[in-house]
Structure 1
Amino acid sequence: MRLKTKLVLWLTALMFAIVLLLSALFVGELLRQRIEQTAATNDVMAHEVLLATRSSVELGLRQQPPTDTSDKGVHDAVVLVLQQQSTLIELMNAIVRYSPTVQDVSVTDAYGTTIISTDPDAVGHPFPFRTSLTRVQTGGMVLQTREVFGPPRVLDISQTLERNGFPFLIVHVGVRSTFLKNSYEPWLRAALWFALLAGLASMVAAALTANAALRPIEQISSQLERLTLRAGEGAEPTPAASSGSDAVVRVAKTISRLGEQMRSTEAGYSALQANLNQMLDTLRDGVMLFTADRRAVMVSDAVAYFLNSPAEVEGTSSSMVGKQLEEIFLPGSALGEAVLAVFDSGEQASVSEVTLEDGRQVQVSVDRIEDERGGGSMGTLLTLRDTESAAQLGQELEISRRLAAIGRLTAGVGHEVKNPINAMVVHLELLRGKLAGVHGEAAVGAQRHVEILAGEMQRLDRVVQTLADFSRPMELHLRDRDLRHVVGVVVELTAAEMQENGVRVQVDEPRDPLMVRVDGELIQQALLNLVLNAMQAMKHGGNIEVRVRRDHQFAVVEVADDGEGIPPEVLPRIFELYFTTKPKGSGIGLAMTYRILQMHGGTLDVRSNTDAAAGERGTVFTFRLPVAGGTVAGTAANRKVMGERV
């Protein structure tokens, strides 16, 4: 069955169900109104009988007062009076005779015994239980339908005559359900026919409406098929499109093909954009792409590093997009003059070097992108490279190579030394056990030598374990962390030790979060090593300043102390494994810190001044980490002095 046919049938069935439900509610409401009318009419009759009964009792007792005034005597007198009142009995018979729904009328006493009734056989007998018509009237449609159209039964309408606040006589009007059914059947049959005709009409109308509403799908299908063929560069139509199949199915398949083409194109574009952004973020070189009219369309974050003038730098790299070349590189600056000169040369590719105002050597490279179809230049790629940064990168690579070689060496040495150490420890314990049973001065001397050997073996084992820990691969658990929070945790951890050594810590950090994607525990360990080194460099106390800031695409943390400084001949070796100038140092802290930052794509630099007369005596360790994507750091600093707390 075609999908269009299914939709038409489904809409038709839905419309019929709605009309059927509304029709049932309509018939139910009519039934409720008829029952209310019947109950109201018969209730009036019951009141008439009640008034006639009261008049008859009052008149009869006035004419024949009871000799016995007890309750039983009064009851017997009332029974006798009612049974002698022919007028009351005629009224009750008239109601039964002329009402189409009333079966009988009875008057009972408070004990349920029938005194008079239109049914002579019921007099003197207990009145049977009957369902109240009032209960049916206030009930739901299901109850009303079951009572009226179910098995034949008699429904009751009652009115009570009270004496001294208690029921004395009760008038019952019996309504036969069969009479109600016969009375309701004519209008009920008409209502059902009306509901049936309305349902059929709604089905026809729904079918015509659905068919008319779905007809434009044919036009939509043809338009989508042409769009798909155009997107597929003239591909052959699919069997679904060329055949006379259901239009709804063709539209669904065509939209699915268009969706796949769009998702494929979007995925390729997103991957290309992500790769390009990642490449630009990791580059230290400034990269800019200009159109043929010298307007910037792509700018890497590193470009801001080369622009020093506030007039040249108005914001992040995104603010430079769309600007002209002359708006970014002002002619009055050394870099601006060099870039404009290279652009004006008109050469296909050119390279020049320029010295900036701050002494940095920058290499300017220009590559022009030509249109392969002979349409001239499409754009220009500008690259700015700091030669000092290139040399620094080479130095970092050399340190990394040394650390890698040391790691391979320590892993092998640790493995080879561990097993002999274990064997020596075992035999040393056996020797200690044998000497325990020997006495004398020679035994005491031998025992002392054994203890010395045991202590040295333990120290050697710790050294081997340190080798194993350093060479063991680290697993990074990266997530976005606020670098300010990492610094705060380290300061809290070292607070007590700083106070004991008379060291005052001062933190200078930005107001806004500075997010980096790092393993928080490893970065805390790296920063902790730097802070403790700074504290240990000041034997008589002093000040440590931790400065947190953003430098373009990098987050920077500086740990500065005012200690004695590191001698120039020692400075190149401080990152080497096991190199230390401390009597109790292990020589692994700075090497581990360097390794942690290297694993996060960061760098670690150091500068030191040992001149006692200099104003900036001391050592400054600086590490950089790439900023997490989308982070904007504030420029205003929030300075916190933590000397009172630590």
Structure 2
Amino acid sequence: MNSRRQWFVWAVLAYVVIIVVVTLGLRHLYVGARDRLDQALGDRLLAVATTLAASLDADQVVRATWADSTGNLCRELLTLNLEKQARQQDLAEISLTAPDGIVLASSRADLRSGEPNAYWDLDPAAVSLALEGVPSATRLFNLQATPQKSAHAPVRDFDPEFADEFTVAVVTVSGNQDFFGSLAQLRRGALLTGALVLLVLILTGILLQRVSAGLARYQARLRRQENLVAMGRMTAGIAHEIRNPLGIIRGAGEHLQTVLQGQGIQDPVAAFIPEEVDRLDRILRGYLSFGTDAPVEARPFDLRPALRRGAALLEKELARAGVEIQHPEPGGPILVLGHALRLRQVVLNLLLNARDALNGPGAIQLEIRRQGRQVRVVVRDTGPGLGDGDPESLFEPFRTTKEKGSGLGLAMSRRCIEEMGGTLTLRNNPRGQGAEAIILLPVHE
């Protein structure tokens, strides 16, 4: 069990590492592709802005800054030119802004002439470079959940007095949504690929876990069958050695009872000898049948009376030990397919185990609950519980924690329940102190 737990821990760690590596790899690919696409978009916008800035008449741009009719006319002409260029280049916006940040002309209605260009505040560093005469592209950012990227190019004029060029305005070009469709498609592709890879890893992990669990169950069943075969061989040899003396003891007990009755003596102890010999013989036959595959005729029977009879056999003995049996609430019949006497023996074994676990006064609760096509029987005690060990180890034949135990009670009980198509498991009480033995049986309908 420790090796299985270690294997599971290592498998989980390996999956976590794989998921982290795949996630980081996809992120690296996405960021790299996004940066390259961003650079390509910036280069295109820069080319458009630089070409447009070079085509504008610097004198006309300067006159557009005048606050007279000539300035108004120049601004109107520039606006018409920018609107035409925006349509031809399929751009979201082209604007012409004076060095003081006042819009001279724009292809967009929300950027009116004579007002400050609010978009300059989004990337002041790129604007500063353009004012110094260096075309530059802004970084990619989101504006109201919409991708935005622009390029600034200066409109330069020559100053003969200083024999140098200076910036008279800045052309700003912004890409429309088609510019960023590739980015959105790339993001969706990366997310979809990551989701598919993660889904494949999860499904593979679930499949491996189920295969591992199935293999573990098969190995446990194989070990149990090997133990049963070994026990069957051993008990077959012991049976012949024990049953012959038992027959002699039984005959002697019956003879003693006959002699005493002939003398008019009624001794109940003499009557116990044949009865106890018969009980030992039944136990021995049970061990023999447990170690072999002897078929048992299965018949439908009501579960509730079988459990009540099994508990009634021990009720007085448990009461003397200060142990209270809490019986299940009455209800309608629940039919199961199997052998009523064997189920009664299973209940007796579980009640005796619960009594031994209490080791003094306490309570044992019997619970019956139907769950769909199954019925759930629980034997719950208020003892110290099962401890930190593996409960499955308690079902191994000849394994016992009692000084006088045979180590076959739980193994025989599970064998009987499995022959009825059910399961028997042990666990600590999740709601309090003690342990629980849980039987699940299919309902016969």
Give the TM-score normalised by the residue count of structure 2: 0.41
Q: Which has the higher contact order (CA 8 A, sep 6+)?
A: 2
Give the TM-score normalised by the residue count of structure 1: 0.29
Q: Larger radius of gyration, structure 1 or 2?
A: 1
